[in-house]
Structure 1
Amino acid sequence: MNRVGKRLRRIIQRPGTVDLSRYEALLPAIEKREPELKELSDAELTEAAGKLRLGRPAPWPASETTPDTEEETQAPAPAAISNEQLVELCALGREAARRALDERAFDVQLVGTMGLLTGHVVQMATGEGKTLAGALAAAGYALQGRRVHVISVNDYLARRDAEWMRPVYELLGVRVGWVEPALDPGERQRAYGAEVCYGAVSEIGFDVLRDRLITSPDALAQPEPEVAIVDEADSVLVDEARVPLVMAGSVDAGVADEEAADIVRRLRLGLHYETDSDGRNAWLTPAGASVVEKSLGGVDLYDSESNRLASVNIALHAHALLTRDVDYLVRDGKVQLINASRGRVAELQRWPDGLQAAVEAKEKLPPSDRGEILDSITVQALIARYPRVAGMTGTASAVAEQLREFYELEVAVIPPNTENIRTDAKDRIFASPSHKLRAIVEDIRTVHGTGRPILVGTQDVAESEELADKLAKANLPCVVLNARNDAEEAEIIADAGKFEAVTVSTQMAGRGTDIRLGGSDGADRERVAELGGLHVIGTARYPSSRLDDQLRGRAGRQGDPGGSVYFASLNDELVLGCAPDVPEGISAEDETGEIIDEAAHRHIRHAQRVAEGVDLEIHRNTWRYTRLIEHQRTSLLAHRDELLRTDLAAEILKKAESERYEELSEKLGAQRLAEVCREVMLFHLDQLWSDHLAFLNEVRETIHLRALARETPLDEFHRTAIPEFRKISGEVEARSAKTLVDAETGEDGIDLHGSGVRRPTSTWTYLVHDNPFDSDAEQALKKVRGMLRKKKD
């Protein structure tokens, strides 16, 4: 009955409406503990925290006492935490923060901590102290005997927060560490061995992939996952959810069709090729195909035996659909992708090999190394490994539906400690981007004349630099923050609130850091506050209202004054791509081009909803495919773990090749032979899984063609993928037995290398855009548009 009631409540309850009354009712009891805890010495405070421990994590890395089966190593889901435990954890945490940081946690921070400790995503406004709330929750889980990963969006924030919060953890008797790319294997094991470990989502994910390729239990970096607290949860769980993390092994340098790149460079839009209004696809016209065929020496592009059409199409996509300084930068002789949702360089991120090489050929750069994909994992699958997940962010409500659907997480909206008094002006809409740009420059001129600091949020690198040029010509000096100078982000953001400061930024604008009025030292705080605080300008609506709110949230922290205004145009990319059919009768003022008609505001909101709907549908569609892959991966990893930790490989091969096994046992000894069998079977298992991933990728890239035959692509994908996966186990045993028979032995032992058991000489990790021009995205876009048009009609 309880289970049915819970299910009904989840259906009826709106996302983002977690009841906070349970937590708020505990605040008086927490405050009542303060006088008593203040009297304790530091050692006594640590001892009091130690009494909360329900059990300590086992030693790590794995020792001789490591359980042999996966079932034994699985961490049970954390037991529900009692009100008494919440009170004691929060009271001890508040006192530890007061002593270590000279910060007494606000009541709302403790409510946030309790929300995290009960497995919610808490929404706390900018400047309300999410970092401390997260640290107290992490310490609370650790004091329950759970290992905690605090997952951040980048390495800088992970290290900063771990070092910043370390004194609090130490007073509570909790060990803390962090992982970053520079750590060696021993340092990495020690970091994960701490009760609380901070790390970027990519770094933690890459360590999971590395652990899946090791051949000795002692080399494992990570213990079994138990609790994840996700910082900037909307960014990690939603924006990054479709970006797979990849482990690759060396093959050779990438190969691009430079001839195709040279040819498409000369083609003209509208004559030789067309693109759709969404910028997701490009195709040759008959005239374009004719030009290309002649340039290639008279080949027939559409001949089934020709392989040139694919390379020409990839080159055309790189030329027509990917724009320098918008989708990527060229820096230090390399193509660097830009993360659209954050405006930063997407470290280690690349497109699938063919497209990556095509962009490099377009920019006349040498192709980067091409790798054989050894394994991959999506962020969504990475988070699903944790029995308990909680998160925190300033903008969760807008994605509450997705957090519930994909992660079974509910959003708890924590009220601010001090009322938000920021003034959000109504959007100013213009007929054209040029009219809009002139109005933005004029608004900056007017506000700057008062000395009030200004932060301008632009859509991409190119726009930020264009606006900076316009401001320079208008004798309005500014500082630019974009993917080109992201290393200077902290310094630039620290002074964005200074008197007379003008900062032009992409969406990266210091997420994870606060803009203090008066600058980093707060010297002009009162002067700036009297002028109205930070003035935030958005140069266009983002594809998500959540991104709009993030930019607005840079102003008005902790009750500071501030203001924001968005400028928009009916010819912005958002409108042209998602709602190109502008309602008739909308008119603009002749001189300024400004539109005051309410229909224009409705239309831009409609375009944004379409964009959000497309993203949601693509997320759903991606997960429909990856869910099967993750199920297969889980099954295979259970078998791999058994091979890794036991003598199962030796038992299998002894049964398969008993005569050869006995012969090798006499030469090598039972222990060494068991190691050889393990190494051989793990090699073939890993190789066949890599081959299976390549096969599935090829199937998915062509699966949309099945729709021509009125078959459901997803069903066809399953129908193809499942039988192939079932072949892996038998093939591993067959190949391993053959290797054991064929391997030569000598004075130095057995020559596995000569028998083909050769792992890549080098491996590297990167993130990959998941089919940026996939037809599934097209279908999603059309489906959502159709639904919204029906509603509108």
Structure 2
Amino acid sequence: MVSFGNLARKIFGSSNDRRVRAYQPRVDAINALEEEIQALSDGDLAARTDMFREQLAGGAKLDDLLVPAFATVREAARRVIGLRPFDVQLIGGMILHENSIAEMKTGEGKTLVATLPVYLNALEGKGVHVVTVNDYLAQRDAEWMGQVYAFLGMTTATIVHGLDDDARRAAYAADITYATNNELGFDYLRDNMKYDRQSMAQRGHHYAIVDEVDSILIDEARTPLIISGPLDDRSELYNTIDAFIPMLSEADYEIDEKQRSASFTEDGTEKLENMLKEAGLLKGESLYDIENVAIVHHVNNALKAHRLFTRDKDYIVRNGEIVIIDEFTGRMMPGRRYSEGQHQALEAKEHVKIQPENQTLASITFQNYFRMYTKLAGMTGTAATEAEEFGNIYGLEVVEVPTNLPIARADEDDEVYRTAEEKYKAIIEEITAARNKKQPVLVGTTSIEKSEALAALLKEAGVKDFQVLNARYHEQEAHIISQAGVPGSITIATNMAGRGTDIQLGGNVEMRIEQELQGIEDEAERAKKTAEIRAEVQKLKDQAISAGGLYVLATERHESRRIDNQLRGRSGRQGDPGRSKFFLSLQDDLMRIFGSDRMDGMLQKLGLKEGEAIVHPWINKALERAQKKVEARNFDIRKNLLKFDDVMNDQRKVIFEQRLELMDSEDVTEDVAEMRHEVIDTLVSRHIPEKAYAEQWDTAALKEEVGQYLNLDLPIEEWAAEEGIAEDDLRERLTAEADKAATERTERYGPETMAYVEKSVVLQTLDHLWREHLVNLDHLRSVVGFRGMAQRDPLQEYKSEAFELFQTLLSQLRMHVTGQLMRVEIVQQAADAPQPHEPDTMEAHHIDATTGEDEFSEPPAIGGGAAVMAPSRMVAASERDPNDPSTWGKVGRNELCPCGSGKKYKHCHGAYA
């Protein structure tokens, strides 16, 4: 029986079909302009950019210009790079212009699609950001598509790791900026640690198109970008606690694989308490006393390290370091570290050198960074399964764009075996059969361990000519992928997500030309060799097509349907034939976690013999339901994390906006005076109870704190003894004396010098307190979950306590700033006054999901935008030797250069630093 919903879809099409059809009139309008625009000269075509800008200045809207602008870009692309966007690519461009996600299959030309909305939105002159997942793609796409933009009179730039601040500012000033998600996020954080507006790199967040949007906004959403500085070494504590875990039995703890959590039973807690007492680490009697919060955190991390983290699956040990393996891509992620002591717990478990923990100086999640953009859009091959999350969190609708040519890939039903041994035996037979008929095979695995086990089985079966692509060998990745479509090739890949290189049947022509023509200078020889390679690849492509195209053979289902779809999507590119099939066993992680015991019993009753598989669409549907459950759980986790992060994000926005206001102010004297008056109000209300008699006032304590915070020695006790004195009278006298002292200090040092010092003190104090506040929020976050046991909502508890902590921060800011400024003594000229500077040592951490490399793990270029900053200190002018720059310390950019040239430092020696 056909449901009404299915019947309606058959007659009217799905909502996605209807939306795609709605773009057709504009596609027709663009096509109608093609002949007219093709007749234009290069100069006239390029001049259309200025014409569009004039129309915008005259009140036209971007939507009014969409048809002529898209037609212009299509013709420019055809002339400059020899690519003419298909009609479906025009539709993809319109979707991106409308703040949505364009889901386009692998090989459908997303890079070219982006040029259409990028050009249109760049006409406004506010800057457009195109976000990619690694430096290579950012540079490749910017150089490739930059030719089109340059032809049309627009500037293009690329942000990559290692650029200095000046280069970054110039890149953000371009009409179109290609950059990685990491670079954009860290530049934002670093900008908000700067001390003057001119040194900031970014100029706003207007419009961004995120490539591989599911990888960046879903897979990486749970990992914040962090700029941090080191804390004290606590390696002894980690080693001591690590030694306790092997002494526990399975009855002492409970493991939940689904939730990735571990906890101690009552017996286990008692054993641990005794061991901790003997080691002198337990304060009080109970492990869960409030003063033992840090110890609880450490023992939980140690238990997780031993029972939830598996070597060669979650991490590997390389060169005496723990290197994390990305669960989605199977890549090594050098430089990436688990936070909150978990990485140190793994180092203790594996008995390698324990690296010190870091204190967070600034952080932001990609969720909150990309939500700052006025307009946001994305593109990927797989987004539909996460459409709800994109809609709820980012307000992005997912629209599936039809392929230019029909998909010819055959997606076969899964084969399910009872045991892993039977499954692998069937896989080896299938790979051998495909190789014998010269069909290229891409084998997908879910971990390094499994890819290497399969490689060993292939060798045993006499198959030796295959390639393994996983985190251990990712250096050869591009070459391996470029040849994965050659007839008879076998490529084993770990979590084959978007790798940035197309698998083309017969092999990748451009990659081969690049490799094989290295060192050949003669143009005739190069042309001859190029023609030979193209002919050979075409012949190999025909052979691969006749063998059935690329065969994607998966050895397991991932917990996310999207990752499975990415793997399937590697085959069937641009209408090529292909085939995909998943081989499963009841011992696979997903099957085991979601109740394969009942299925095993049922299959045995049905008489399933050894080596036989069950193949049925119902099995696929049951597995999809299991995957949906996992996806829903992961979505809930990310949604919950976002709720907590939103609390910090709201406070971050307040602090960062306050910093910008301070930097933009020439003079913060009024703000400082307001802080001083609020401090006086606080001191008076603290020591003079409301409606109390003068004899009840605590004048001694008030006098002491006035000395401490206002640096004034005043006869407060004598004032209080006066007949008829009121609280307001006392407050007015204190305010008058404090203002008088501040005025005298300004007259003594000069208004300009004092304004500079005030601004510096306020900014530095604000930053110092904000960093302490981040640490406090981290600690609160790690313990607030326990409030749930008392039937209190952890999120509400976190919100209220985080608010109280923030109020404390603001109060401390007023106190600290007032205390410093009422004591400041300036013995140098204004140019030599202490300049605010970024923290002595900073490290930036976040992993690139596509390359597996931490782009911020090494020191940047000199003067560079700062993953690791060298320590710096202020040096008095009298102590500087003009001939020895090592004695200068930190020099202000606008100071006269200490070398004596008479130029400003930034135009002299500072030009190189």
Q: Which TM-score band (shorter chain)?
A: 0.7 to 0.9
Choose 439-448 or 23-32, whichever is displaced more.
Answer: 23-32
Residues 312-369 of structure 1 deviation map (CA, whole Å, 9 limit, x = unaligned) = 3221211221122222233344322222122223464321141121112222222234
Mapping for residues 15-414 of structure 1, pairs under 5 Å? 19-53=19-53, 81-82=62-63, 84-253=64-233, 255=235, 257-260=237-240, 262-264=242-244, 266-267=246-247, 270=250, 273-278=253-258, 280-284=260-264, 298=278, 302-303=286-287, 304=289, 308-346=295-333, 348-414=335-401
Cα distance in 1 for residues equivalent to 2:767 and 2:597 = 51
Which of 773, 791, 798 matches 1:717?
A: 798
Q: In the alignment, is residue 626 of structure 1 matched against residue 645 of structure 2?
A: yes
> How far apart, CA to CA, are the structure 1 residues paired with 2:191 and 2:419?
53
Deviations 1:185-233 (A, max 9, x none): 1111111111111111111101111011111111101001100111111
| Residue equivalent to 2:879 | none
1:449 and 1:264 map into 2 onto residues whose CA distance is 54
Counterparts in 2 of 1:99 and 1:265: CA distance versus 1, 3 Å: farther
User: Residue 458 of structure 1 corresponds to which residue in structure 2?
Assistant: 445
Which residues of structure 2 form unaligned runs of 5+?
1-12, 510-536, 677-737, 849-913
- C-alpha displacement of 1:548: 0.8
Shift of 1:50: 2.5
Aligned-partner residue type, residue 130 of structure 2: V
> What is the aligned counterpart of 2:573 among 557, 579, 587?
557
- Post-superposition Cα deviations, 1:466-497, rounded to whole Å, max 9, x if no partner, equal 21121122222211111222232222111110
Q: Would the alpha carbon gap of residues 79 and 269 (structure 1) be closer, same or farther in structure 2, given more than 3 Å must change?
A: farther
Which amino acid letter does the alignment assign opposite residue 20 of structure 1?
Answer: V
1:493/1:509 contact within 8 Å kept: no
1:652 aligns with 2:731: no
The 3-state SS of whatever aligns with 1:29 is: helix
Q: Which moved more, 1:603-612 or 1:613-622?
A: 603-612
Counterpart CA distance in 1 for 2:406 and 2:618 is: 32
Aligned to 1:677: 758
Structure 1 residues 403 and 284: CA distance shift in structure 2, 3 A: closer
Q: Give the direction of change, closer, same or farther, for the CA distance of 1:38–1:542 in structure 2 (3 Å limit).
A: same
Specify the code of the residue in structure 2 equivalent to 1:81. L
The whole-number CA distance in structure 1 between the counterparts of 2:437 and 2:485 is 14
AA in 1 matched with 2:38: K
**Aligned twin of 1:766:** 845
Where 2:437 maps in the other structure, the secondary structure is coil
| Matching of residue 518 in structure 1 with residue 506 in structure 2 | yes
Deviates more, 1:254-263 or 1:700-709: 254-263
Once the two structures are superposed, what CA deviation does each residue of 1:221-276 show, in whole Å capped at 9, x if it has no partner? 10011001111112212222222111113444464634336525634763554422
Matched, 1:496 2:511: no
Aligned residues of 1:149 and 1:199 also touching (Cα < 8 A):
yes
Does the CA-based 8 Å contact 2:496-2:566 persist in structure 1? no
In structure 2, do the counterparts of structure 1 residues 14 and 213 end up closer, same or farther at CA, with 3 Å as the change threshold?
farther
The corresponding residue for 1:572 is 588
TM-score (normalizing by structure 2) = 0.76
Q: Alpha carbons of 1:768 and 1:727: their partners in 2 closer, same or farther (altered >3 Å)?
A: farther
SS of the residue aligned with 1:496?
A: coil
Q: How large is the Cα RMSD of the aligned pairs?
A: 2.8
Partner of 2:608: helix, strand, or coil? coil
Task: Work out whether residues 341 and 357 of structure 2, in 8 Å CA contact, stay in contact via their aligned partners in 1.
Answer: no
Aligned length: 734
Cα distance, 1:148 vs structure 2: 0.7
- Structure 2 residue 624 is matched with structure 1 residue 605: yes
Residue 178 of structure 1 and its aligned partner are, at CA, apart by 1.3
* CA–CA distance in structure 2, aligned partners of residues 310 and 295 of structure 1: 16
**In terms of mean alpha carbon deviation, does 448-457 or 550-559 score higher?**
448-457
Q: Is the 8 A contact 1:18 1:412 kept in 2?
A: no
Q: Please list the CA deviations of residues 274-293 of structure 1 after superposition, one character each: whole Å capped at 9, or x if unmatched.
A: 42243612344567667666
Q: Is the 8 A contact 1:17 1:411 kept in 2?
A: no
SS in structure 1 of the partner of residue 822 of structure 2:
helix
Secondary structure of the structure 2 residue equivalent to 1:498: coil
Q: Deviation of residue 621 (structure 1)?
A: 1.1
C-alpha contact (below 8 Å) 2:253/2:268 kept by paired residues: yes
Write the letter of the residue equivalent to 2:200. L
Deviation (angstroms), 1:23: 2.1
- CA pair 560-596 structure 1, distance change in 2 beyond 3 A: closer
- In 1, distance between residues paired with 2:167 and 2:812? 37
Q: Deviations over 1:127-186 (max 9, x none)?
A: 111110012221121123331111122222222211221111111211111111111111
Please identify the structure whose Cα radius of gyration is greater. 2
269 and 570 in structure 1: CA distance in 2 versus 1, 3 angstrom threshold = farther
1:418 to 382, 405, 410: 405
TM-aligned CA distance change 1:531 to 1:209, over 3 Å: same
Gaps of at least 5 residues in structure 1 are 1-12, 58-77, 770-793
Structure 1 position 562, deviation (Å):
0.8
Equivalent AA in structure 2 for residue 492 of structure 1:
I
Q: 1:598 to 1:454 in 2, by over 3 A?
A: closer
CA spacing shift, 1:376–1:485, aligned 2, 3 Å? same
Find the partner of 2:782 among 695, 701, 721. Answer: 701
Shift of 1:453: 0.7
Q: Is residue 537 from structure 1 mapped to residue 517 from structure 2 by the alignment?
A: no
Match of 2:827 among 725, 740, 746: 746
CA distance in 2, matches of 1:752, 1:634: 30
Overall identity of the aligned pairs, in % = 35
CA distance change for structure 1 residues 745 and 613 in 2, over 3 Å: closer, same or farther?
same
Q: How far apart are the structure 2 equivalents of 1:447 and 1:669?
A: 84
The amino acid across from 1:351 in the alignment is: Y
Amino acid at match of 1:609: K
Choose which of 543, 566, 591 in structure 1 pairs with 2:610. 591
State the one-letter code of the partner of 2:649.
E
State the TM-score, normalizing by the size of structure 1.
0.87
Change (3 A) 1:297 1:602: same
Structure 2 CA distance for aligned equivalents of residues 711 and 265 of structure 1: 31
Partner Cα distance (2:50, 2:847) in 1? 44
